[in-house]
Amino acid sequence: MVGEQSPSPTVAIGGDGPAGGAAVRDGDVPLIGVLALQGGFEAHARVLRRLGAEVREVRTAAGLEGLDGLVIPGGESTTMTLGIEREGLAEPLRELLAPPPAGRGVPVLGSCAGLIMLDRQHLGLMDVVARRNAFGRQINSFEAPLTIGGIDGPPLRGVFIRAPYIAEHGPGVQILAEVDGHPVAAREGNMLAVAFHAELTDDVRLHRLFLDAVERYVAGRPLHY
């Protein structure tokens, strides 16, 4: 169980862990990569550490080795796309995140620009089409209370900053939340994508949902949230 605790030191024992390729570490602490080419990666790292995960900022393909989960943060999707091309990260990311047999099916959380990166027109991992800056020029940023499938308790405060929404999605995609009838949170297998910034509030429930999937992945259970 990943609880709220201060990070404990961990030791990576080689790269050959249990089936699925997850590394074995002391104390069952998951190793979560945060794509750190650009954008708001530090706030995600803080939340994940607060929840007891070990965090690695990822800037190269080598940084993807041995991860149990990955967060693609918000930022600017055009800049992030250029960084992914520059570092030759598109294929390694697909190998890490695509469901088997194409990839390892390591859980991913994409937030805002991270959602855009996962869509059909970017990394092509999720069967969704994101519409950039979808809420219009007048409404650059706003907050909305969100009821999210899989998250219990009071609504989660979603912080939307020049946010996309999901304009199209395939049948394998489960929509978890909407704003004005537009999907803003979705999951497909081990991929979780949200149009808002869950890392900018004190509410850790979305990251916990992601880490629950990581725990199940590490335990070798089926690829479902």
For ligand GLN, the closer of residues 67 and 117 by Cβ is 117
Cβ atoms of 178 and 186 within 8 Å: the answer is no
First to last CA, the chain: 15
* Known catalytic residue at 182: no
Which residues in this chain contact ligand GLN in the complex, by CB under 6 A? 74-77, 112-113, 116, 132-133, 161-162
Name the active-site residue from 44, 188, 199, 207: 199
For ligand GLN, the closer of residues 51 and 113 by Cβ is 113
State the Cα–Cα distance between residues 225 and 218, nearest whole angstrom.
Answer: 13
State the Cα–Cα distance between residues 87 and 155, nearest whole angstrom.
Answer: 38
- Whose CA is closest to 66, among 8, 110, 24, 11? 24
User: How far apart are CB 118 and ligand GLN at their closest, in Å?
Assistant: 12
For ligand GLN, the closer of residues 10 and 201 by Cβ is 201
Q: Which token pair is 107?
A: 């859980």
Cβ atoms of 58 and 117 within 8 Å: the answer is no
Tokens 């959602």 belong to 115
User: How far apart are CB 100 and ligand GLN at their closest, in Å?
Assistant: 29
User: How far apart are CB 116 and ligand GLN at their closest, in Å?
Assistant: 5
* Known catalytic residue at 197: yes
For ligand GLN, the closer of residues 112 and 173 by Cβ is 112
Element (H, E) at 143: strand 141-146
Name the active-site residue from 112, 122, 169, 188: 112
* Known catalytic residue at 199: yes
User: How far apart are CB 119 and ligand GLN at their closest, in Å?
Assistant: 11
Percentage helix, strand, coil, to 5, in the chain?
25, 25, 45
Catalytic residues: 112, 197, 199
